[in-house]
Amino acid sequence: MPGVRNGRIIADAPNALKRFLEPGLKRRAGELCEMCGQPIVEQHSHVVNVETRTLMCACRACYLLFTHSGAAQGRYRAVPDRVLNLKSFRLSTAEWDAMQIPVGMAFFFYNSSMKKIAAFYPSPAGATESMVPIEAWDELVASNPVLLELAPDVEALLIYRRRGEDRFQCFIVPIDACYELTGNVRRYWKGFDGGELSNLNFQIVGARPERHAAVPTLMFALKIEETTGIDIHNIVLRCQIRIEPIRRQYSREEESRLTELFGDIPRWGDTMKPFLWTHLSATIPCFQGKTEVELPVACTYDFEIAATKYLHSLESGDISLLLMFSGSVFEKGEQGMQVSQIPWSKEANYRLPVRVWQEMIDHYFPNSGWLRLNRDTLSDLMKFKSRRALATWDEVIETLLLDSREPLQ
């Protein structure tokens, strides 16, 4: 079925381009003619200022003034409505590569001011100019004499190749359609070459203590699913892990332990907010479809850290975690390697059993913990320990607690 853009019939518009030519992507109504200042309709024509290389919105009367060659001494040229689908256009992959266009879409037109062929392709920054080797263009014209009919400045050759295909789709189109298409492509742009990128889903499916690490470590089993079928070369993954304390209930003993962290219980609605536990980085090796890896999460038993105080206060149940992913994805594409970023929206929730945390701590600190003290305080405690002839540091702390006449329970 023919496509339609602003009233123009586009014969056999490629399916991959249809989303960029939707009727919803129209210019705003209420614009004025840039030549006479009169109001113009939403679907209006354009005139090119050849010297400044700008497109000017024009009413029908002003547009007709510049439809003849030589009008205004060639300074202004009306953009025609002609759209041709060049089904017999001859273009090989080698000829396309000779054009040195880094993506699968570009438009070419003759710039009369500079007296050369100009090429532009879409990019995240909009229409980006590329230098076309004159030999490559001459060979293309020799194979396709229809290019000699291109109206300078106002008509362009539009070339499009779908990802994964060798076949090119070629059109002669108005220059304003090229810029409009480029702008709309920018709205949908993905990655470095604008094409289809991977879609990754993350899920934590388990956790266990790592018993042979230099520091206390939990191993999170991470399942990654790629839904588009693209080959993943590797992923440089970053992850922020946050604790969401409001998402569970607490026993009375746990509540008493958590008052230091969150204050009095009536205030917990205001003070019990999600907080950072840790960050981690990992490199995920190549895969296609699905993979499962283990993420090492280094932990600390430093009671100066809020997360340690919170985790130590729990007796049973689960710990509600939010894992927020970011990083770079290296993909194998038709044109070689490409890189994209993991969206910040990629997250995973996991309820870590308290017993897993406790099992890890018991392995690295069997029935013990540690406190960080100022050196002067430590010196005073050593003198106290010597004067009282106390054998262990546990006895030192117990004696001080008893001397304070405060109950230990």
Domains of the chain, residue spans? 3-30+80-187, 200-364, 373-409
The reported pLDDT for the residue numbered 2 is 42
The reported pLDDT for the residue numbered 21 is 47
Model confidence, pTM? 0.51
The reported pLDDT for the residue numbered 336 is 65
Mean pLDDT over the full length of the chain: 82
Cα 190 vs. chain centroid, distance in angstroms? 8
Pairing of strands 217-226, 200-210: antiparallel
Pick the CATH number of 200-364 from 3.40.47.10, 2.60.130.10, 2.60.40.10, 3.90.1580.10: 2.60.40.10
Q: What is the mean pLDDT of residues 255-265?
A: 93
Q: What is the mean pLDDT of residues 159-185?
A: 82
With 70 as the cut, is the pLDDT of residue 333 above it? no
With 80 as the cut, is the pLDDT of residue 124 above it? no
1 burial type by CB count under 10 A (0-12 exposed, 13-18 middle, 19+ buried): exposed
Side chain identity at 374, as an amino acid letter? Answer: N
Residue 236 parent element (H or E): strand 231-243
What percent of the chain lies above the pLDDT cut of 70?
A: 85
Question: Cβ(232)–Cβ(329) under 8 Å?
Answer: yes
Token pair 């056999």 is found at: 12
The reported pLDDT for the residue numbered 198 is 67
Q: Which has the higher per-residue pLDDT, 271 or 337?
A: 271
The reported pLDDT for the residue numbered 275 is 92
The reported pLDDT for the residue numbered 27 is 43
